[in-house]
Amino acid sequence: METKQSMDCILKDPSAKSKPVVPKLITVNPLNIIIEPKSGQIDKTLELKNIYPCRVAFRIRTNGPTRYTVCPNKGFLSIGEKTMIRISMIDGSKYQSNHQFIVQSMPAPGDFADRKLIWKQPNYLGILTNTRVKTMRPGLSLSKNGGQATSPALSTSNEGSGARSPALMDSNESLATPSVPSWTKPVSSIDHGKFADNINDLATQVKKAIAEKNTRASEMVSVVNQIKSIEVELDRQAQLVNEMSERVKKGEVQYSNLVMHERTLRADLERMKNNEHDPSGP
């Protein structure tokens, strides 16, 4: 778990000593992205590494927010941590040579967890680095000035300063799309033949699944009908049981009446016998 850091580490860079320039916070590799001349989605990767002795926050901005998706486009890096950034051009046929990215970084307290809110806070320390990442077609020579920004005006500027290029400033806080892009590469019409066999196999599997589903549904209907028949039979048997219960109750009442009548007859018979043996009786 990342330990909580104090602001002392952020306010003072141990490696800077008396240097007048702000120390470099992160490294970005590569600094030039090769965009192949083809249609469809093009995926590239950037590696960011924290080389500052404190936790840093980063975000990535572009002058083509409708052309690219970046994931993640904001986050934090602990001391010495690396992260891989996925950059996807939605359609390579819409590439323009002025497309570029700016990777911004600044020190961040260890207890600050909101990767969006931290960029809305005032930058009291005034430490903000900007690393320009350019795009180019394959075969072109790499720009000597396309690397890490080292000038004080670029390294120490606060947000909204002149550190960004005019194209990026015109984007007006146009951040790279934060949602996770779909990495499924679109298939052009000329590539359909390569996937014909797979499509046929998938269609066969779907048909088999549908047939199995229909079979299972028929079996389920049959089971439901059997359950309903059993419920009807149970209701009929319950009705018969109720009728038998009523008959038993009536029989018990009749039996009780017969027992009482028998007792009465026995008492009368005993009384008559006593009268026969006792002539003096009435």
Residue 31's CATH number: 2.60.40.10
- What is this structure's pTM? 0.47
Structure confidence at residue 113 (pLDDT): 84
Write out residues in the chain with pLDDT < 50, as ranges: 1-7, 11, 16, 18, 20, 143-192
Structure confidence at residue 9 (pLDDT): 56
Q: Is residue 109 part of a domain?
A: yes
Q: Is residue 11 part of a domain?
A: no
Q: Are strands 82-89 and 42-50 parallel, antiparallel or unpaired?
A: antiparallel
Domain co-membership, 131 together with 206: no
Structure confidence at residue 204 (pLDDT): 86
Structure confidence at residue 193 (pLDDT): 56
Q: Is residue 219 part of a domain?
A: yes
Tokens of 62: 């572009």
Q: Is residue 216 part of a domain?
A: yes
Structure confidence at residue 164 (pLDDT): 39
Q: Is residue 55 part of a domain?
A: yes
How many folded domains does the chain comprise? 2
Tokens of 114: 């909101």
Residue/partner pairs of 27-30 with CB below 8 Å, 24 or more apart? 27/51, 27/148, 28/103, 28/131, 28/133, 28/148, 30/133
Domain co-membership, 123 together with 33: yes
Residue finishing a domain among 136, 157, 172: 136
Q: Is residue 154 part of a domain?
A: no
Q: Which domain holds residue 198?
A: 193-276
Q: Is residue 9 part of a domain?
A: no
Structure confidence at residue 122 (pLDDT): 79
Q: Is residue 71 part of a domain?
A: yes
Residue finishing a domain among 136, 151, 172: 136
Structure confidence at residue 27 (pLDDT): 94
Structure confidence at residue 115 (pLDDT): 87
Structure confidence at residue 228 (pLDDT): 87
